[in-house]
Amino acid sequence: MVELRAGLWRLELRTRVERLTREAALLSTAPAKEQIKNYLDTARAVATERRTLRGVWFGHDVEEAWRQLREAERLILETTTDPEQTIAKGQTALARGKGRLPVDDSRMTALKAALKTASASGGGSHANLSLRELSADVLIGAWAVSTAEHQVQLRFRTILRSLTLALAILAILAVLVSLRWVVPGGLIPAPKGSPSNMVLVWYSCSEP
């Protein structure tokens, strides 16, 4: 996942949450629906509530929201029993995998074959189970690659922000020091007057 600019990522996250909420409503397995609801509620909270300074700085809350969203999507996939929905989700998983996994990846190859078989046969309980498992494998693989890429971006952003903060602090200290010269003999006020008339005052504490 590539993090979207501030504001847009909230819209993307809310859109995904609402879509998965509608899909979860069609499931018949009550325990799974409750767990999916918990995942989606956590993701929705990050997308709608005010973020903490720590969350804004490090971005861990957004990462956790996407993780919860993916867990909900995986659980919906694993509990879907409708053959057409299973095939559609398999095709979605294949599309996700194409953007992240190598073309010759064994999981991609197996999923392509399973989709071809399921489409030709119309699906069955055993075929649906196999297709769901293969689709989940591809999704998990694609998510792992996406998460690793985003972690690199997140670390770089954190380092960049830390350097910016350090430079800002140094700039403030430089301004403060320019207002008072610190020397072994004590504090000497900076010369008064306009900057263009200021002269550098040299002070020596050594004996003549």
Condensed to tens digits (0 to 9), the pLDDT of residues 46-62 reads 888 787 777 677 777 88
The residue among 182 and 124 whose pLDDT is bigger is 124
Q: Which regions of the chain does DSSP assign to beta strands (E)?
A: 180-183, 186-189
pLDDT of residue 3: 40
pLDDT of residue 192: 55
Distance CA 187, CA 182 (A): 5
Of 137, 21, 24, 40, nearest to 90 by C-alpha is 137
Question: What dihedral angle (degrees, nearest 10) is formed by the CA atoms of 37, 108, 86, 70?
Answer: 10
Distance CA 137, CA 119 (A): 19
What is the pairing mode between strands 186-189 and 180-183?
antiparallel
> Collapsing DSSP states into helix, strand and coil, what is residue 181?
strand
Distance CA 99, CA 86 (A): 21
User: Residue 196 above 60 pLDDT?
Assistant: no
pLDDT of residue 177: 80
pLDDT tens digits along 9-28: 788 889 999 999 998 888 87
Distances, alpha carbon 16 to alpha carbons 5, 36, 172, 183, in Å = 17, 13, 44, 61
What does pTM read for this prediction?
0.65
Work out the average pLDDT over 62-83.
89
- Backbone dihedral angles phi then psi of residue 200, each to the nearest 5 degrees: -80, 125
Distance CA 158, CA 171 (A): 20
pLDDT of residue 82: 85
- Backbone dihedral angles phi then psi of residue 110, each to the nearest 5 degrees: -65, -40
pLDDT tens digits along 130-174: 899 999 999 999 988 888 887 788 788 888 888 998 999 999 888
Work out the average pLDDT over 176-201.
54
Distances, alpha carbon 74 to alpha carbons 25, 29, 45, 134, in Å = 15, 14, 20, 11
- Computed over every residue of the chain, the mean pLDDT equals 79
Domain ranges of the chain: 1-79, 82-182
